[in-house]
A and B are shown apart, each in its own frame.
Chain A
Amino acid sequence: MISVGVDAGSRAIKIVLLDTQSREVVASGVVAQGVHSNDLANDLLRDLLERSGLGVGDITRTVATGYARNMIDFADTTVTEITCHARGVHNVAPEAATIVEIGGQDSKLLRLGSNGSVRDFSMNDRCAAGTGRFLEVVADRLSVPLDQLGPMAARSQNPASISSTCIVFAETEIIGLLATGISADDIVAGVQNSIAIRIAAMAGRGVAAPVVFTGGVAIVPGMDRALESALGQSISIAPNPQMTGALGAAIIAADKNYNK
């Protein structure tokens, strides 16, 4: 029997199938988010089940998380992404005391207790400047694919200073920087630093180590270094960071004692 975790995020839907007994991941997949979240999630689930030689009857319980969690009609219950990321990261990095999660639409900083439960959390508020959306905007403005941002930032010798705290104004700022001859590499590195600085501001007075970085933006090369610099301490990237929310949801689905 399997437990299913669905992370219906703002930019992508992620699903993890977990063996309910052994707690081993049976299959996982990602699909871009769209207008019909439920249909997209359904299609992805069917595909994963088929590839794993399983059927709907093998599912014991499904937990949905993420921005569009309430649109997933085949979920038995919903749990917020804060709780799910904590559970997922604790599973793959039990030593984590702090989690930084940067997704497409928001970013979060979670402080964990010794058992991996959330002690407290902070989230950015109505602003895309500390999120993956900022990277998408800069990639679009520079006409480069998202996966090139990491190598570009790595080549930067002198990261640009992006002073704006709003991506709408930052976009204008980027145009200005390009016009004054600043290289695209330095601009990308500057944007990564800008995101990291906003996360550090959200962290407030102190961040307990070890810090684990997760969420879709963690797969962008260079973001971990920018965060280390802003937080003033080393961080590690969670294995398969885009999937930790869905993994946590699947673990919660497998946990019979979890009551919402």
Chain B
Amino acid sequence: MNEPRIISFDEWDSHYIQLRDAGMMEPSYGGPLRRHVDDGGDTRLLRLRYDNSAASLRLWNFLLTEEDRLRAARAEGKKLVGTMKDLGTVPVMAYSLPNLVAFYPDGAWWIPCVMEMNAGLLSIASSLGIDETFCPVRAMIGAFVTQAHFPLPDLLTCSVGATCDDFSAIAQRLEGLDHPILWWEIPSRRHPDTNEASIILPGGFSAPVSQVEFVKSELERIRISISNLAGMPLDDKTLARGIRAANRVRRILSELRILVFTAEICPMPALEMQIAEMLAIHYCSDREEAEIVLCELLTEVRARVSEGVGVLSAEAVRVFWVNPVADLRTMNLLEDCGGRICGTEYLFAHALDEIREDLPPMEALARIALADPMVGSANDRAQRIIEDACAFGAEAVIISRIPGASHCATEGEVIADLVRSELGLPVVEIEVPPITDAMIPTLRTRIEALIETAIRRNE
């Protein structure tokens, strides 16, 4: 096994040659990281630091070649489904059929970071009235306009209702630009009234049966559209097979998370773990390959854990991280400051839970959709964070706000208060825009102070 280390972009050049010369097997989308800078203009990669395993290289290459896969799928005659806002439900349906490929246009929110604004996506969004008061997901509008980052989908779905107000506004603007959207409503999850028929959802939340039935009816509309697009029915048997395949990915991720978050020595950096976890919701446009990529990463982590080696010192402070960051560099910063990732809640905890296979498939999907942490109360979300932070042995919590995101405006305080009162852990809130360069000193101060506080508390 390659000695685990966190290395710079430049170090990857020579390291890649060493791995290749040592017989590293590469997929068709493999190659050195540098090609994404030279060919794709992903200049932000130069500033990041990476895990040095072949498995991590494959993960990065998989992430950074999604556009190629989408174009290849279209060339093969497959139909593309853009699934907006929905974090992990409609892709399960779409990937159940062989001639559909789902992708997540919202993922364009990382393009301004990776390309250091050079793609101009945020400027385009601003020129269309979606300015910086909205979440950086507004980059998606720019990507639809330029068509330089993904082909236009054949079907575009978007969940609406108990989702971010700003995202709904962004999607509405997109529809106004002649991109028809199949909207489906997700209600605000509420606690059942006394004597009201209720169901326990994945993640332990409860919801009225009537809400599950409503979501099921909404998803039925999606099922019809997807079937029409594919030219074949998405029947229960086919969908059940798709759910089993989705669960395979979720089980791999679950083991990966448990191993990484609980190992005495951190076996995988926070940055690669964030990329890996994101595969749960969109598979980077290829579910089967996503499973292979994650399996390889899991194999590497298992080996590291079994040998008691990792990428950080055993003294690194265990930090639970809430919300994904718009600037990937922030995950490196955590480790620079003496922390390590130990639990995450990136707004899609439900997409990491297994979908029940013992229920009718649409019922199971409706339940998982309603378990989305974003459609319930901040208190519900906080409770799940508390349970996970406790289970993974977190010593501190970072809540990173996404500028402009309406769900972040007030929930951070609720989560922070509950974490403090129930776990007694130090918490810090930070705000992370797509490019943090000018803010690195202040972000560093906050994270370092959190780490210092956790260390002193342990003394």
Contacts and interface: CB of A to CB of B under 8 A. Distances in A.
Interface string B375-407: 000000000000000000000000001000000
A118 B453 CA distance: 6
Contact of A119 (B449, B452, B453): B453
Given A125-B429, A125-B431, A204-B417, A79 B445 contact: no
A118 B452 contact: yes
A120 B449 contact: no
Interface stretch (A54-62, A80-88, A187-195): A80-88
Interface size class of B (residues with CB under 8 A): 20 to 34
A67 B430 CA distance: 16
A117 B456 contact: yes
Q: Report, as a range, how many residues of chain A touch the other chain.
A: 20 to 34
Given A118-B452, A119-B457, A81 B445 contact: yes
Nearest to B396: A120
B141 to A, nearest CB: 25
A72 to B, nearest CB: 13
Given A80-B452, A83-B452, A125 B430 contact: yes
B203 interface: no
A118 B456 contact: yes
A205 B418 CA distance: 11
A19 interface: no
A82 B430 contact: no
B427 interface: yes
Interface of B: 338, 401, 413, 416-417, 420, 426-431, 439, 441-442, 445-446, 448-449, 452-453, 456-457, 459
Given A67-B445, A204-B417, 16 more contacts: A67-B441, A67-B442, A79-B452, A80-B448, A82-B453, A119-B453, A119-B457, A120-B426, A121-B426, A121-B428, A121-B453, A123-B446, A125-B430, A204-B416, A205-B417, A260-B452
Q: Which 4 A-B pairs rank lowest in CB-CB distance, beginning with the nearest?
A: A82-B449, A80-B449, A117-B456, A120-B426
30 contacts: A67-B441, A67-B445, A70-B441, A81-B445, A82-B445, A82-B453, A83-B453, A106-B442, A117-B453, A117-B457, A117-B459, A118-B449, A118-B452, A118-B453, A118-B456, A120-B420, A121-B426, A121-B428, A121-B449, A121-B453, A123-B428, A123-B446, A125-B429, A125-B431, A126-B431, A204-B413, A204-B416, A204-B417, A260-B338, A260-B452
